Each structure stands twice: as structure tokens, then as C-alpha cells.
A and B are shown apart, each in its own frame.
Chain A
Amino acid sequence: MKRTVALLMENQSGALSRVVGLFSQRGYNIESLIVAATEDPSLSRLTMTTTGDEKVIEQITKQLNKLIDVVKVLDLGESDYVERELMLVKFANESITRETIKELNGEIVFENNELLTIQFVGSSEELDQVLKNLAASHPLEIVRTGASGISSNLKTLTI
């Protein structure tokens, strides 16, 4: 089962390696990982998607909480949440039509006479579907950021 876990950690060297190290050390999967400083520069917010049953996810959140650099952990899957991921796809100019781009809710973010770069935003599942639909247009290169998420209630991941 895919799950999304968000956490706040001290924005300092070594903190990220402790989080990532924990996953390899304890044999958990990381499907995607996204991290950036928050509006409070002393903190970073990290969102990761992982797989595992309830028991594994519980262990992951407990073990993450144990790390001294980790300030707060939230298993987003505990309640409703919004998940978004950004994907950039590059095509040779003639290989994709404007109609296809429009149908798939893509936005052209770069173009010249050789190529087109298109941005897609959606949940990871939606982007998986977009990629399937793009296969026939032979994308030259695809890059995905990994999912970020925010809960859909008044509970906040802040200190």
C-alpha cells in the first residue's frame, strides 16, 4: 500500500542523511522524496511516499520521530489530504499536437523550433495516467519531482 508521510526537521547538515539512512537501515522503501526549507528557515519540510502495511507505516513514523533532528511527523494517509506532483516532459517539436497537450492539461513552459517542454501537475496517479497517454508521442525526456502533500483539515504540520 502506498502512503505519504510528511515531516518537519531541523534545516541543518546531516539531518536529511539521517532520515534517508533510516529507510535503508531498516529496510523500508522510498518511492519518492521531496524536501525544501520552510518559511521558517530553521526547518525543512520533507514529503516521502513509501509502501508498506499499517504496521510498517506505524514503525516508520515511530522510528522517524525518534531521530533527534526530526521535529514532527505526520502520516498524511491518516485523513484526507491533497497530493500534487510536478512533471516536465520534453518532446521533439513535431511529435505532439497542441490538442493532446490541451486534453492532458499540460502547459507549454518552453518551446523553440526543435522542441517543446510541457509541464503537468497532478497527483502521482494522475501523472502516471498522463504518461501512459503520452507514450504514443514519444517523449524525449521525463522528470518528476515526487509528490508533496498537505492535509485537508485544520490540523497543520507546524511547530
Chain B
Amino acid sequence: MSKEQISGADALLRSLHEEGVELVFGYPGGAALHIYDAIFNQEHVDHILVRHEQGAVHAADGYARSSGKPGVAIVTSGPGATNAITGLATAYMDSTPIVVISGQVRTNLIGTDSFQETDMIGVSRPIVKHSFLVQKAEDIPLIVKKAFHIATTGRPGPVVIDVPKDVTDPAHTFNFEYPKEIDIRSYKPVKEGHSGQIKRAVKLLLRAKKPVIYSGGGVIQDNASSELIKLAKLLDFPVTNTLMGLGAYPGSDPKFLGMLGMHGTYEANMAMHNCDLILAVGARFDDRITNNPDKFSLGAKKIHIDIDPASLSKIIDIDVPIVGSAKECLNQINKELGVKSNKIDHEKLEPWHQQISAWKEAHGLNHRLLEKKPSGKKILPQQVIQSLYKETKGEAFITSDVGQHQMFAAQYYFFNKPRQWINSGGLGTMGFGLPSAMGVQIAFPESDVACVTGEGSIQMCIQELSTCLQYGLPIKIINLNNAALGMVKQWQDMQYGGRHSSSTYEDSLPDFVALAESYGHIGLKVKKYEDLESAMKECFAKKDKLVFLDVDVDPEEHVYPMLEAGMSMEDMHLSKEIKTWK
């Protein structure tokens, strides 16, 4: 590789280019100005100017989740850095590969409480996979190489590179050379599963009469969807996905149980509770899944495949823990099953499949609500999702914010492909939906991208409507407007005697149609059921425009099923009146 004299700022951009980065999301400021000048002076890496640093990090995150490529955000020091924190925590909880480059005050000012100084390394420490404070320009290539390696391998996660201003000073140049290989002695993620454990797992899989495959975000991150489908088909096992794992197994497949957990389907939760074997892949038995761990699926043997050894037996004791990548381990299991194919017996699973069908029949979600035209009644939020599904033929990228609308989208849109469903499952970040949709739309300019949101969440990053205009991002915002913080209100209804403490806005909501129009977009309002489908059609017919579809939905609607806190997975509220336990 040829050597040349360049500045730290130029070296940073060159390093990003070497890593295959085509664009970054960001917001300039004093400490980042040398970097911004370097952005101006090159043509390999585009820059998307957001309106708030939180939006930059969510957009980079949405870009990463949808494309599988690492997302990059650049922010300035101080408030720029602290504004990035929510985005970092979101990415950390959902293990997404992003790199955030933060400007920092000059090295000689660090620790002096100088203007726009924040200890970014300290502030971000518990919510990053790793972080680097650049001490000198010459370190930039190696640090960038390490940052991308760490962010994208093993259990992926966000990495921060904090860059003091003097390190990027154009007056100082050095010989730029980008490292080809990287070796970090303390970081060697395992890919392949232990062969003995794989054999033990296969033995249990072949013996099971009432099995469930429970897969999570790890299968999507590791592009292991086809291996998962192959395994499920080979064994004829039913599959449930976590909120983060939706799309890994086709949502419209008859052997799909739907999502499990807090707002999982009746059949998924019943199957988890009553099964004799759980094969968990890239999922982490978190509290929104297990409910009370002491009452969790007591009769089941558990196999758990995870890239992160710390996830194994953290909450639930595992019989066969397997450390390794989802793709690699599933491949190993499939291979082993191939050898033992004569021992696969689909027939013995028949009573279990019948049991699941009976559960589904009894209390499964009603996916035909659109056909039930309630004249004069309010639009159900579930009907809006079904209309969205119908209009997009199930092929759109759907991002969501956090709350009831998120659960309705997860329950009622069948995600047939991985990376199609983008939401903040771990941290539960309101405000994630719109900026993450920007990242998705930029990664997939030709695809339909819809942001399912609510009137609460959308206002947390509403400023990004301006970014969408600047870059011509034709996102469809589907606002399930129930004029309340719906999930908060639901909990207040169920657990606080209906006392709606600060969960409504007393007629202070903006006119979202006018708001969208003032940002240069199209706004549509739907109040009646009769207008829903035509408005949805109109929304997606406008290929080149952002459309804000504001739908008034029934404010009384709750999300069901819902697990009862402190109990097992079979203890669910199925409606306001019906619950499964006595």
C-alpha cells in the first residue's frame, strides 16, 4: 500500500472508506470541524445531516439493522456526545453494529471543564461494547480498524471513537497506511459450537415429543435464517420468534407460532410453558419472555445456542449450552441431523401439533379484522396494521417506535424475511421509529419503508421530518393516534384503577397533517373505518413523497395477550374480561 502524508481528519475519512463505509449520519460542531472539513474534501463517504444527534445514531442503527453493514454516526463533543447516548444504549441493548465518532476538546483541555467538554468515554462506558480515546493522529487507522472489527464480530455492539480536536488538526500530517489484518489478543470470539455439545443437542432434539424452537435477534444478526428454517423443516418443529427475532422464520408459515412473551400469542406462550424441549437460538431468556423465571417451562429440557457465553444460564439453567454463532451452530446441527435422518420421526409430533392448533383455534389472534367492518365504530389499531400489511403485500420494511403500536405491528404484520422488522426491543426507545426508518430508506432507496408509530413516540424525534425532506426520503409514517400514551394508559387501566396519571395531553396535540405539510411533506387524516384502506392506498401510491398518515384509532383498545406479572408463561390476560388463570 502506498504511503502518503495526510492529516488525522483525512485519515479518519480514509479509514472509513477502507472499511467500506459509504455514508455517515451526523451533526457538526466545534470539536468536529476538522473532521467535517475532511468530509467536504473527499467524495467516497457521503454525509447525511440530521436534526438531532439522537436521530443520527438511530439512523445509523436502522441502516445497520436493515443492511447488515455497520452504521456510522459522527457527533461533536459535549452536548453532541450526550445526545448520542440514547442511540448508543438502544444499539447496545439490541446488539447492533454501529460506530459512533465523537469530537472531543483538545487533549490539553481534557479535564479542565472546558467549553463543550464531556467525558464521553466515561459517560458511554456501560452502554458500549468498547470505546477508544484517540491520543494521537497516527493511531487513527488502527483504532478505526479495531472499532469496526469489534462492532461487527462476536456479539455485535456499538463502539465509540472519541477524537480530540488537535488529533484531527490539518497542520499535523503523517504517513497514512491502513492495516490489512487485525489481531486483538484479548478478543477472540468463538464461531463453531463444541462438537460434543452439538451431539448432545441432537440427541435431545430427536427424542422430543413436544418441542419448540425459540429464536431471537441473534439469528437475524448472524444471517442464520435459512439455517433455522432448514432445521425446523427437517424436524417439523414449531417456531416462535422474539420481538427482536421476527422475520427469521416466515411469519405466514403454518408452523409459525407468532411472537412469544409479554404480548406473545396464546399458542406461543402455551407451547413454551407446556413443551418438553426448548431449542433457544440467539435469544436471551429476558424478563419480557420468561415472566417469573422460577415458573418458566419447568418440564422442558433446554438447549441454548448463543455467541455470548454470558447469556447462557444467566436467567434460566440450561441443559445443553452451546457457545457459537447461530449460523455455524445451526449448520453443525443440520449436518448431524443429516447423518441421523433415519431417526427423525415426524409422526410422534402429531399430537403436539394438534394441541398447538387447538390453542390457536381457541385464542389465536384474529387476522381477519379488516373483513369485520364495524360501521360507526372507531378504527381498531390492529385493523390499521392489517391494512398496512395488505397494501404493502407484506414486503415493506417496518420500523416502529415503542408502545401499543409496536406490539400491534409485531402481532399483526407477518414478517416473512429477516431484517424487515426494525424496532427497539431491548431499551424500548420512543423516538427510534422515524430516524431508524431514514437509515433503512437510505440503505434501500427503492423499497417501501413504513414507520409505525403513535402520537407520543413520533413527537420524540419529529425534527427528523426536516432531514427526510432534505434527502428526499419517501418514508410512510403510520401514526396510530389514540390521543394517549397508550401502553402507559393500559397499565394504569389494569394496575392503577384507571387513574390516567399524565398519560393524556388535554387537547394539546398538534394537527399532524398541517405539521407534515409545514415540513414539506404530505399529510393524510383518517377518522372513519370506511376511509382506512383507500387512504393507505393513497399513502403508498405516492412513491416519491413522505406521507404522514394520521389515523384516529380506538383509544380504549388494549394489547392482548398480556402475561400476568410474577406468574408463568401460561398466565395471560386474553381480553379485558378473560384471563387464563383463576
Contacts and interface: CB of A to CB of B under 8 A. Distances in A.
A71 B186 contact: yes
B184 interface: yes
Contacts of B150: 68
Most buried by A among B121, B186, B308, B310: B186
Interface string B298-315: 000000000011100110
A62 B314 CA distance: 10
A14 B186 contact: no
A14 B314 CA distance: 27
Interface in B281-304: none
B311 to A, nearest CB: 9
Given A59-B314, A159-B185, A68 B129 contact: yes
Contact of B130 (A13, A62, A68, A159): A68
A112 interface: no
- Taking residues whose C-beta sits less than 8 angstroms from the other chain, chain A's interface range is 20 to 34
Given A14-B133, A59-B310, A62-B309, A71 B185 contact: yes
Interface stretch (A17-25, A29-37, A132-140, A146-154): A17-25
Contacts of A62: 309-310
A94 to B, nearest CB: 47
Given A14-B121, A17-B122, A69 B308 contact: no
Interface in A68-98: 68-72
Nearest to B312: A62
Interface residues of B, number: 18
A154 B272 CA distance: 46
A68 B126 contact: no
A71 B125 CA distance: 18
B505 interface: no
Nearest to A63: B310
B581 interface: no
Interface string A1-45: 000000001100110011001000100000000000000000000
A72 B185 CA distance: 10
A58 interface: yes
Contacts of B187: 68
A148 to B, nearest CB: 21
B186 A70 contact: yes
A59 B309 CA distance: 9
Nearest to A64: B310
Contact of B313 (A25, A58, A65, A66): A58
Query: B-side binding surface: helix, strand, loop or mixed?
Result: mixed
Contacts of B310: 59, 62-63, 65-66
A13 B126 CA distance: 16
Nearest to B130: A68
A14 B121 CA distance: 8
Most buried by B among A14, A63, A72: A14
A68 B130 CA distance: 7
Interface string B148-169: 0010000000000000000000
A109 B162 CA distance: 46
A68 B125 contact: no
A10 B150 CA distance: 16
Contacts of B126: 21, 25
A10 to B, nearest CB: 7
Nearest to B132: A14
A67 to B, nearest CB: 8
A18 B121 CA distance: 10
Contact of B186 (A17, A63, A69): A69
A3 to B, nearest CB: 17
Given A10-B186, A14-B133, A71-B186, A65 B125 contact: no
A41 to B, nearest CB: 15
B125 A18 contact: yes
Most buried by B among A17, A55, A59, A68: A68
A18 to B, nearest CB: 6
A66 B308 contact: yes
A17 B184 CA distance: 20
Contacts of A68: 129-130, 150, 184, 186-187
Most buried by B among A25, A59, A62, A69: A62
Nearest to A70: B186
Interface in B376-413: none
A99 B129 CA distance: 56
Contacts of B313: 55, 58
A133 to B, nearest CB: 42
Nearest to A69: B186
Nearest to B154: A66
A159 B313 CA distance: 28
A153 to B, nearest CB: 24
Interface string A110-146: 0000000000000000000000000000000000000
7 contacts: A14-B121, A18-B125, A25-B126, A59-B310, A62-B309, A68-B186, A69-B130
Given A17-B125, A71-B186, 4 more contacts: A14-B131, A14-B133, A65-B309, A68-B184
The 4 closest A-B CB pairs, nearest first, are: A62-B310, A71-B186, A68-B130, A25-B126
